[in-house]
A = this chain, B = another copy of it.
């Protein structure tokens, strides 16, 4: 670990099998999908609360999970009690949660952007999320497509349309907010940067909405949120607005009846470890920003 984080203070690591679960208040699981669920089950059975950063408990419908992740679900009996930990929308459930499914990085950026307008019932025919992510989103294991020479000075779309595993996770939430939500077109792209996600989202509003009413919706929903910020008209966020923070920064731009939302997060913080800490803070009644750079 010392070589991964050369500037961090040293930390003692032990195998999971040697961990004394009974002594823990909380277990963060940072494991691949399929590997996380059995350990989560063990912890929950031992009365330990869990924040799981894998995909294992994000999708409530076992069949959908098994289709997209091409594996049998290891612990389907836990699905019913898992809370989807998009913190801004889960607070009321987190206090009593035994098992929290920390959201994916793309879903975090896109769902926060879409919720107010979806929940308000603005009808639309298609939602398009054109998302761009830094390379840490592809994991730390070395692969051909994360080799420096393949990525540097390049830019690549991948699994565009309806092909990426984060799609069902997003549609599940969108349908909670608007049962008749239209299908999502989701186009991820690989940016030649280490970290950060910027999603540019297109949604065509029906004629009952204008810029003032939509801005009022977002202000009402997010002005009191510690980690969400709406930029004023004419300003657009870049990765630099959110990297190294737990923030999600949004902009709203209108092009005729099309609302363009841009949303940036740091995929490693608000899109992963930061949101896990944010969830922990709510679960244990701590100040929500404890340990998180604001």
Contact = CB atoms under 8 A, between A and B. Distances in A.
B239 A155 contact: yes
Contacts of A196: 153-155
Given A6-B240, A187-B260, A258-B126, A149 B135 contact: yes
A276 B62 CA distance: 57
B125 A185 contact: no
Contacts of A34: none
Interface stretch (A109-117, A138-146, A277-285): A138-146
26 contacts: A6-B240, A6-B249, A7-B240, A7-B245, A125-B204, A126-B204, A130-B200, A140-B149, A152-B153, A152-B193, A153-B195, A153-B239, A154-B238, A154-B239, A155-B193, A156-B236, A156-B238, A158-B236, A160-B255, A160-B262, A161-B253, A161-B258, A161-B260, A185-B256, A187-B200, A202-B202
Interface in A239-261: 239-245, 247, 249, 253-256, 258, 260
Contacts of A183: 255-256
A149 B7 contact: no
Given A153-B239, A157-B237, A185-B258, 9 more contacts: A7-B240, A149-B194, A153-B195, A154-B240, A160-B255, A185-B202, A185-B260, A189-B200, A191-B192
Interface size class of A (residues with CB under 8 A): 35 or more
A176 interface: no
A218 to B, nearest CB: 17
A245 B162 CA distance: 31
A239 to B, nearest CB: 5
A160 B156 CA distance: 21
A99 interface: no
A155 B130 CA distance: 13
